[in-house]
Structure 1
């Protein structure tokens, strides 16, 4: 979508998707600064604005990827999880949704379930940001609780929709929280910070099949209970 094309909030919501293949086209820092300035209008309880953000590109981004790759090579011993990305003991309908979207993603790439090496290789693209030239790391003080984490989510959604408005794409990636200590070290963050998520930012590779498959959403009657109408 051209950056100057007018669109509604609903348009941006429908056009936004988690892009998993980016071009190497650079992103203008001035455009990102404008997006972040607008995103500061996101709501937060008590106006705390708990989000803290580190944005990397170039050599700095390459160093982060290399440091995390070294931890991944250590296997489970290399993991440094900040929190449980998914609830333990996840049940339906949530487990089915999670499984279903994963299978649809691999199907779009032509990687069957029995191709374990192929799936692992594709999974590792998470830790390369799917080729995105910019990575945003969203973190906050450890004193913050669930309400402030919800505030960070609202800020993040605001950024993702504004990126669409400016002709850019993104992919939120909580997977980086599996190596929180390494990322804090590379970004020179204090241990008082906890990493929430990464956000890959760039220009989508529109021709990539992984960016074209339809991502399902639950029907309204699964999530909305109308009362008093």
Structure 2
């Protein structure tokens, strides 16, 4: 797959087929992604792969925590504490667009919560990845891990697979740290669902829009 095609075909898939992904394929994807750049080549990322019975048990614990409102205060702020434009409008268009694709009305809180709950089963993907880094590192390592995460998603496309990056897990870091036996210096950044897209699922037909290059680029000189 040409890199342009991998980038433009990548999307957040929110329903996966019940088709297995073998360990060799996961290892291949991570080997390719390990070539992601990092400052002074410190490679700050750590990956924790869950599949099979281990994934099912963890997901059930997560869903129980969600259902009982047992979330954690976040260890980092993914979004701004006070939204402002143009970011607020872009966020709203994304959320409203997804729910409209699923036929969920803006006031239908029960169905919106049910859809959000599906995060914690990795949207039925057979493989889940958790990305962590040492909390003693600085902001540059967040950028490094972001490039690594993107590399995972593009390498997955090269294998005919799809992904969904999921920051939602960060609100359940205590439970996940316990289940994966992570040390206290491990900062949970996100999860990634990995598997084969269900092409019949309406939510997978929702493609977010992008700003034009002219809107976000300023040339200085030639």
Tell me the TM-score normalised to structure 2 length. Answer: 0.97
1:48-127 to structure 2, matched below 5 A, reads 48-75=42-69, 78-127=71-120
Structure 1 match to 2:40: 46
Structure 2 match to 1:145: 138
In 2, are the aligned partners of 1:63 and 1:186 still within 8 Å (CA)?
Answer: no
Structure 2 match to 1:130: 123
Structure 2 match to 1:10: 4
Structure 1 alignment gaps of length 5 or more: 1-6
1:14-25 to structure 2, matched below 5 A, reads 14-25=8-19
Structure 1 match to 2:206: 213
CA distance in 2, matches of 1:138, 1:228: 40
In 1, are the aligned partners of 2:10 and 2:157 still within 8 Å (CA)?
Answer: yes
The alignment status of 1:202 with 2:170, answered yes or no, reads no
Structure 1 match to 2:147: 154
CA distance in 1, matches of 2:90, 2:71: 29
In 1, are the aligned partners of 2:129 and 2:194 still within 8 Å (CA)?
Answer: yes
Structure 2 alignment gaps of length 5 or more: none
Residue-by-residue CA offset, 1:17-68 (whole Å, 9 max, x unaligned): 0000001100011011111111111100010000001000011111211222
1:161-200 to structure 2, matched below 5 A, reads 161-200=154-193
CA distance in 1, matches of 2:194, 2:23: 11
Residue-by-residue CA offset, 1:149-184 (whole Å, 9 max, x unaligned): 100010111110010010001000000001111101
CA distance in 1, matches of 2:200, 2:13: 12
Aligned length: 222
In 1, are the aligned partners of 2:44 and 2:133 still within 8 Å (CA)?
Answer: yes
> Aligned to 1:78, what secondary structure does the other structure show?
coil
Query: Cα offset for 1:189?
Result: 0.6
> Aligned to 1:21, what secondary structure does the other structure show?
coil
Structure 2 match to 1:36: 30
CA distance in 2, matches of 1:116, 1:10: 38
